[in-house]
Chains A and B, each alone.
Chain A
Amino acid sequence: MRLDLNGVSARIDGRPIVTDVHLSAGPGEFVALVGPNGSGKSTLLRTVYRSLRPSGGVVHLGGEDLWRMRPRHAARRRAVLPQHGDAGGEFSVAEAVAVGRTAHKRPLDRENAADRAAVTTALERVGMAWAAGRLLSTLSGGERQRVLLARALAQEAPLLVLDEPTNHLDAGAQFTLLELIRSLGLTLLAALHDLDHAASYADRIVVLRDGRVAGHGPPGEVLTPAFIEDVFGVRAHIGPHPITGRPHVALAPPTSPGPVSATALEADTATS
C-alpha cells in the first residue's frame, strides 16, 4: 500500500505546525521521519491517523484521498501505533489486541474465527502470545509496547504508522521492536528520535525542521555530518557500525573537546 502526502499542511489552534510536506512511502518501504523536538513529526502523523485534518494538501492512501474514506475503510488500509496509546481500563492483553479488529466488525457481529486468529497471530508475531490472558497493566513498558503493536497488527492493514515506538524503552526492547517492525513486510512510516536507529533501519529518511521538509533520501545520502549539525545543532560522525557494519551515527555536543584517548577511556571505566 502506497502512502503519498502531497503538500500537506496542518495547523493547531490556527498556528501552522506543518507546512507543505511532500512525502511518499512505496509498498514494503520503511520511511523514517526525523527532526528536532517540535519540528512537527507527531502533528504530521496525526493527519495520517485522521485525528487532525490537514489545512492544505492531500493524504493519498493507495491513490485514494484518506480523508474522504469512511473511517472503517481507512482503518483496514492503515493501522497506527500512536505515542500516547495506552489501553486504559482493566483490559486483558487479548482484549486490548482485539480492539484492532474494530474496523472489521459491524455493531452486532460476534467475534469469529478470523478475529481470534488475527489476535493470536498478532500476539505471536510480537512474541507476546504467552501474555494473552494477563492484565495489560501488569506488563513491563517494553512488553506493553509490543502488545500495542500487536493491536495495530490485528487490524491487518498493509500500512503501519508509528510515532516514536521506541520511546521509554530500554536498549534491548528498542532493538527488539525495531527488528520486529522491519521484519513485518508492511509499508512503514515511523517518527524516530534516534538518528542512529533511523540510519540503521530505514530505507529512506525524511527530515523535518520547523514543519517543513529539510531533506529526504536514503540514510547514507541525507545524514551527512554537516546536515545533522545544521538541523540538530550537534556534531556528528557517520561510519560503519563497529558491530553490525550498518551505517552508524555517532553524536557529540557542538562544543565537545576532541576524541578521548583510549587509555583515558579505560582508566575512566575502571574507576567508575
Chain B
Amino acid sequence: MADTLIPGSPSGRASDRPATRPSGPHLVSGAGTGVLLAALGAALVAAMAAGVSIGSVNLPPGKVWGVVWAHLYGGDSDPLLDQVVWQIRTPRVLLAALAGAGLSVAGVALQALVRNPLADPYVLGVSSGASLGAVLVPALGGTALGGVTRALGVTGAAFGTALLSALVVYVLAQRAGRLLDSWLVLTGVAIGYLCTAATTFVQLQLEPTELQGMMFWLMGSVAGAAWDDLGLPAALIAACLAYLMLQARPLNALLAGEDAATGAGVPVAALRVSLLLVGSLLTAAVVSVVGGVGFLGLMVPHMTRFVVGGDHRRVLPVALLGGAVFLVLVDLAARIADRPNELPVGLFTTGLGVPFFLWLLRRRATGGRHAA
C-alpha cells in the first residue's frame, strides 16, 4: 500500500533514497549512551580528584587518596592534611558536583514544562525566588532552630518562594495558552529582579555591613561547604531525578504540544504541576546552599541534546553527570584563575552562559526551527 502512494509524494525522492544509519541522527545513541555515561562518570571522578588536589596549596594525588582512604576504610593521616582534604576540599567538590547536577536537571524539567530550551532556573527568576526564601528564614528568626531542622527550614522556605516565582512567570508568560520566547524571558527577568531587590532589602535589615552575603545570592559560591550541607540536596536531587526518569516518555510526548501529548495518553495538567514542583524543588535545594549560580540549567541540557538528541531517557542522566563535571571544573577554574584569591563560581557560569544564551536566542529568532 505504501509503495503505491510514494510516487505521489511531493518529495518524489522516497524509496530511492539510501536508508540512513539505523543508529539514528544523534552523535551518541543506543549502546553509545552507556559508554558516554561511563565516560562522564570517569570524568567526574577525575575532575573531583583534581578539585581536591589543586588549590591554594597543591597536594600530590597520592597523599589525597591516603586521606580519603583513611576516612573510608580506617587508618591514620596527617591532621593538617586531613583538615584541608577531608573537611574543606572534599565537601566543596562534592557540593559543586551536586549543584551542577541539580541545576542541570532543573533546567531539563523547566524546559519541558514551558516547551522552550531558553528556560533555566536563573533566566526564569526561580533562582532569585529561592534566594529570597532562604534569606527570609534568618530574618524571621529561623536561626533559633538547630541542625537538620534549620537546613530543612531554609530549603523549605526557598522551595516555597521558588515555586511562587515559577508559578507567576508560568502564568504571566502565557499568551492564549502559548509561551513565546520574548514573553517568557522578559517575565522571568522581571520577576528575578523583583526577588533580588527583595532579597537585598531583607539582607540589609539583617546585616547592614555584610556585602559578602549579598554577593553570595547574586553570584553563588561553593566555598565554605561543609559535610552537613550535602545530605539534603543529594537526597532531593536523587528523588527528583528518579521521578523524572519514570516520566521520561510522557516528557517526550509533552514536547509535541499539549493536544498531541493528551492524545497520546499523557495527563498533561498533572504532569505540568509536577514539573513546576520538581523544577522549584531542585532549584531551592541547590540555591539554598550555593546561592545564585546562573545559566547552568541552560547550557548543560542544550549541550546534552546536541550530543544525545531530545529523548529524556538519555537527556536526564547525561545532563546530570555532565552538569556535575561542568561545575566541578568551573569551581576549579574559579580557584586557580586569580590565585590566591577565589572568584565566585557564579561569575564564571554567567560569563559563559550569557554569550551562550544570546547565541541561542538569535539562532531561534532567525532559524525558527524550535520557535515555540
Contact = CB atoms under 8 A, between A and B. Distances in A.
Contacts of B10: 140, 142, 169-170, 172-173, 176
17 contacts: A51-B259, A51-B262, A51-B268, A71-B262, A71-B267, A82-B257, A87-B255, A89-B370, A90-B310, A95-B311, A99-B249, A132-B19, A134-B20, A142-B10, A172-B10, A176-B5, A180-B5
Interface centre among B115, B252, B255, B263 (most CB of A within 10 A): B263
Contacts of B20: 130-134
A79 to B, nearest CB: 6
A127 interface: yes
B205 interface: no
Contacts of A78: 263
A46 interface: yes
A72 interface: yes
Given A100-B264, A130-B17, A88 B253 contact: no
A91 interface: yes
B351 interface: no
Interface size class of B (residues with CB under 8 A): 35 or more
B340 interface: no
Nearest to A179: B5
Interface of A: 46, 49-51, 71-72, 74-76, 78-92, 94-96, 98-103, 105, 107-108, 124-135, 137-138, 140, 142-143, 148, 151-152, 155, 161, 163, 169-170, 172-173, 175-176, 179-180, 183
Contact of B9 (A92, A96, A127, A163): A127
A148 B250 CA distance: 16
A99 B253 CA distance: 6
B259 A91 contact: no
B259 A80 contact: yes
Interface centre among B11, B259, B311 (most CB of A within 10 A): B259
A175 B8 contact: yes
Interface centre among B25, B26, B266, B369 (most CB of A within 10 A): B25
A96 B260 CA distance: 11
A172 B3 CA distance: 16
Contacts of B8: 172, 175-176, 179
A130 B264 contact: no
Given A125-B2, A126-B2, A85 B25 contact: no
A88 B256 contact: yes
A124 B19 CA distance: 13
A84 B259 CA distance: 8
A87 B11 contact: no
Interface in B255-312: 255-260, 262-268, 305-306, 309-311
A173 B9 CA distance: 6
Given A88-B370, A96-B256, A125 B247 contact: no
Contacts of A140: 10-11
Contacts of B306: 90
B25 A133 contact: yes
A9 to B, nearest CB: 19
Q: Which 9 residue pairs of A and B lie closest in terms of their CB atoms, listed nearest first?
A: A75-B265, A80-B263, A89-B310, A103-B265, A82-B259, A88-B255, A133-B20, A107-B246, A172-B10
A92 B265 contact: no
